Chains A and B, each alone.
Chain A
Amino acid sequence: MNSAGVGLSLTAIGMRPLRDALAIADQLRAPLGLDFLELGIGVSCHVNDDYGTWPLVLHDSCLSAGNPDRSLRCHFDLLDTATWPVYRAFVASHQVEAMSVHAPLRTRTSAAGLSDAVHRCSDYLGLPVMVEVMPEVGRWCSSAVTLVDVPLLVDVSHVHIWSCGDEVASLELVEFIIANHHVAGLHLSHNDGKSDSHDLIPEQVWFANRIDHWMKGRRVTLESLPTSLAEHRRLDQTRSRWNRQSNHSLSEPSINESAPSNSLGRSHAGTTNTDSRNTACKTSRNVA
C-alpha cells in the first residue's frame, strides 16, 4: 500500500455527477501524474458506484448509500463506532489506501480520547487514518497548541486561516507542524485566509516553493485545481462567479479570484458548513 503520491479530490471538480467527475479525473490522471482519487464532499459517491481502476482515499463523510435516486450521505464520526461499518464494508470491496477525518470538537473528547479513537478506527478499517487540521477554534488540531499526537492531514489552506492570510506565518506554521508532528498527508487549495473557499491554486501561491519538500513521503491531495485547469473547476464556482458579476456589476474577475461565500457563511459547494468564528479575523468559514 502506498503512503505517498499525488491525488485529486472530487471536491476540486465537484458539483457534477460522479460519471462526469470521473471522466475529468481520468483525463487528468496521466498529465498530472495522479496516483489516487480522493472521495470527498461535492460529488455524490455511492457505495455501489464503479470507481474504475483508481486507488481511493476516503475523506470524512464522503460515502452515500441507499436508493441511488435518493441516496443518503453516510455520516462518519470518529467518536461513534456505529458509523464505521459502512466504511469498512466499502474498504473491503474497493482499493482504498487511507481515510482522513475532520478533527472533532474539543468538548467531545480529550486528546487521549481522540488518539485512542484514531488507533481503534485504523485497526477496524485496516487503513491509515489521518486527522485533518481544522480552521475553526473549538476543534482539536485547530491551532499549534491543540495538535494531537496522531497521523495528521495538514490542509495548508486551513493553516492559512489560522494566520489570517499572513503568508509568512502560514509557511512557518506548516514547517512547524511538519517538524514536530507526524504528518501523513496534505490537502492543497487556495484561499484568502478568511474563508475556506477552495479557490483555484495560482502558480505563485504562498506554498509553491515548499510543496515539493513537504510532500516527500506523504499523500498530497489537490482539493482545488491549478488555475491552468480552470475549465474543470467546480461547476458552482463558475456559476457564482457570473452571478456575482451580474449582481455587483463587477468587471471580469481574475480566474483565481476567491469564490464567494454567502452571508450565512454557507458554501456554494455544499461542503460541510460550520458556523464558527475566527475570533481575530472575524470571518465566517466553510470547511471541507
Chain B
Amino acid sequence: VTEQPVEDVERLQRWCKRHGIVISPLGSSQQREAIAERSMEEYWASVVEDDPQAFAADVVAEHLLANNQTDLLLDLWLTFVPPLAFIGPPPGSAPALDLRTLSYFAEQGIDTSNFSPDSLLPPIPADRARQAKLESAMPEERSSGKGLFGRLFGR
C-alpha cells in the first residue's frame, strides 16, 4: 500500500475544517472507551500519525456517513481522488472501503458512472457478468470430490 504524503492528509484536514467537520470519537464502544480520556487534538494527531491512509479512508468517511452528510462524502471523493487515493486503491489491489462506499452510493441511488474515469474502483456488480468471468478464470477445483468440500459433503 502506497504511503500517502503528509501534505495530502493536511489538505484533507483543511478540507474538513472548511466544511466545519469536527471529527469526534466514532465507531465502536471500545474505540470510544479507548480514547475517552484523550483530547480531540491528541486523537486526531495519533490517528494521522499512525496511519494517514486509514485516517483518510475511515475516519472522515465514517463521520460523514454517520452524520448523513453524503453530499460532502461525494465532494470528498471528487476532491481527493486520485491525489489522496481516499477511496481508490493502489493499482492491482482489491479495494475494501471502495466497495463499501460504492455500495452505499448505489443504495442512495447515486450514479457512480461519472466518477473519475481513471478510478480503479470496480463497478458495482449489477449483473453477473463479472461472476461468470471470475468463475471462468478459476478452475472448478471442487469437482474432483477429493478436496475439503468433498469431505465435508461426503462426495
Which A residues are within 8 Å of any B CB, using their own CB?
6, 31-33, 105-111, 136-138, 142-147, 162-164, 166-169, 171-173, 175-176, 180, 201, 203, 208-213, 215, 220, 222, 226, 228-229, 274-281
Set of chain B residues within 8 Å of A211, measured between Cβ atoms = 142, 147-149
Contact yes or no, B57 A169, CB < 8 A: no
Q: Considering the chains assembled together, what is the distance between the CA atoms of A189 and B32 in angstroms? A: 29
Contact A180–B51 (Cβ < 8 Å)? no
B50 near A209: Cβ-Cβ < 8 Å: no
Task: Find out whether the CB atom of A6 lies under 8 angstroms from the CB atom of B54.
Answer: no
Interface centre among A145, A180, A220 (most CB of B within 10 A): A145
The proximity string for B residues 117-155 relative to A, scoring 1 for CB distances below 8 Å and 0 otherwise, is 000001001000011001100111110000111011110
* Chain B hits for A167, CB < 8 A: 131
Given A6-B148, A171-B134, A172-B94, A278 contacting B141 (CB threshold 8 A): no
- B28 proximity list for chain A (CB < 8 A): 105, 136, 138, 274-277
Q: CB distance A145 to B89 under 8 Å?
A: yes
* Residues of chain B at the chain A interface (Cβ within 8 Å): 1, 27-31, 34-35, 43, 46-47, 49-51, 53-54, 57-58, 61-62, 65-66, 89, 93-97, 99-101, 103-104, 107, 122, 125, 130-131, 134-135, 138-142, 147-149, 151-154
Q: In the complex, A136 Cα to B100 Cα: how many Å?
A: 12
| A–B complex contacts, Cβ < 8 Å, 10 sampled | A106-B47, A142-B96, A145-B89, A162-B100, A169-B125, A175-B94, A211-B149, A276-B28, A277-B28, A280-B100
Contact of A226 among B50, B130, B153 (CB under 8 A): B153
Which of A171, A215, A276, A281 lies in contact with B27, CB distance below 8 A? A276
Q: Is A144 within 8 A of B50, CB to CB?
A: no
Question: B142 and A209: CB pair below 8 A?
Answer: yes
- In Å, the complex CA distance between A168 and B137 comes to 12
Contact status B151-A107, CB under 8 Å:
no
- Smallest distance from the beta carbon of B52 to chain A beta carbons, Å? 11
The listed residue (A33, A213, A276, A280) touching B65 by CB distance below 8 A is: A280
Extra pairs beyond A106-B51, A168-B125 (8, CB < 8 Å): A6-B148, A6-B151, A32-B151, A166-B99, A172-B122, A203-B153, A277-B28, A280-B103
Complex CA distance for A33 and B43, rounded to whole angstroms: 49
Q: How far is the CA of A142 from the CA of B96 in the complex (A)?
A: 9
Instruction: Let me know if A32 and B152 touch, CB within 8 A.
Output: yes
Instruction: Name the contact of B97 in the complex, choosing from A6, A145, A226 (C-beta under 8 A).
Output: A145
A210 and B46 form a contact (CB under 8 A) = no
